[in-house]
Amino acid sequence: MAEKKNTLKIENLFAKTEDKEILKGINLEIKSGEIHALMGPNGSGKSTLVNVIMGHPRYKVTKGNIFLNGKNITKMPTDERAKMGLFTAFQNPMEVPGVNFSNFLRTAKNSIAKKDRISPQNFIEILRTKSKSLKMNESVGERSLNDGFSGGEKKRAEILQMAILEPKISILDEIDSGLDIDALKIVSRNILDIHKQSKTGVLLITHYQRILNYIHPDHVHILSDGKIIKSGGKALAENLEKHGYDSYIK
């Protein structure tokens, strides 16, 4: 019997914030084992799409639906979506002074575990192993969540969360922004390792081709003015790098 794939399906999605309509009919389907890259100019609606998928209260869905494994999550609270297996690595991770990173992450992991909750001692070993892979100091778990982290540390911390939580679907919002070339290689390698091990479906949102030199997407989509105007393979991203968006945006 074929293995059942986790699926995030977005159907004819329209959404607005305040009185401004931003998403204007998004159709997208992401399955386990797939990597989708979503590209587009500033203001095209990429980060809005992330927020709407995760249920940010600032945004209102006016039409369409979001399904995770066949269940309609369009009106579901953010924490319930996360417990079902949705994960977002943020473009600008929030600093939370006073919230211990290790305790936060173990609590999050145990909240989605149906059994075999992880003890503090066992979790420390897991955190140590995953931190080492990302070339993060082992003491990261003793710090407050993102508090005083450099830009690169925050992005690595997001991928550390992804590695430990093992989500069904991972949304990475400009995870490459602010990374130097060495950090980009480390982050990309870990994303690929997680993807290979857990078969998480990935939606990788980026402005630039450079991360796609390390993470080769199965599908590439161009978002403009709240709509996906073109889809293709990696060649589409390479063409964007050479010629920009002008040939696709009318």
Q: Do 28 and 60 share a domain, yes or no?
A: yes
Q: Identify whether 189 is part of a domain.
A: no
Mean pLDDT for the chain? 92
Residue 195 lies in a domain: no
**Domains held by the chain: number:** 2
Specify if 94 maps to a domain: no
Query: Do 156 and 127 share a structural domain?
Result: yes
Q: Is the pLDDT confidence value at 141 over 50?
A: yes
Q: What is the mean pLDDT of residues 125-146?
A: 92
Domain extent, residue 248, equals: 1-45+55-85+167-175+201-209+216-250
Q: What is the pLDDT of residue 208?
A: 81
Which is nearest to 78 in space by CA: 63, 70, 68?
68
CATH code for the domain of 23: 3.40.50.300
Structure confidence by residue, pLDDT tens digits, 26-58:
999 999 999 999 999 888 999 999 999 999 999
Listing DSSP states for the chain in one string gives -PPPPPEEEEEEEEEEETTEEEEEEEEEEEETT-EEEEE--TTSSHHHHHHHHHT-TTEEEEEEEEEETTEE-TTS-HHHHHHHTEEEE-SSPPPEEEEEHHHHHHHHHHHH-SS-PPPHHHHHHHHHHHHHHTT--GGGGGSEETTT--HHHHHHHHHHHHHHH--SEEEEESTTTT--HHHHHHHHHHHHHHHHHH--EEEEEES-SGGGGTS--SEEEEEETTEEEEEE-HHHHHHHHHH-STTT--
pLDDT tens across 200-222, in order? 999 999 988 889 999 999 999 99
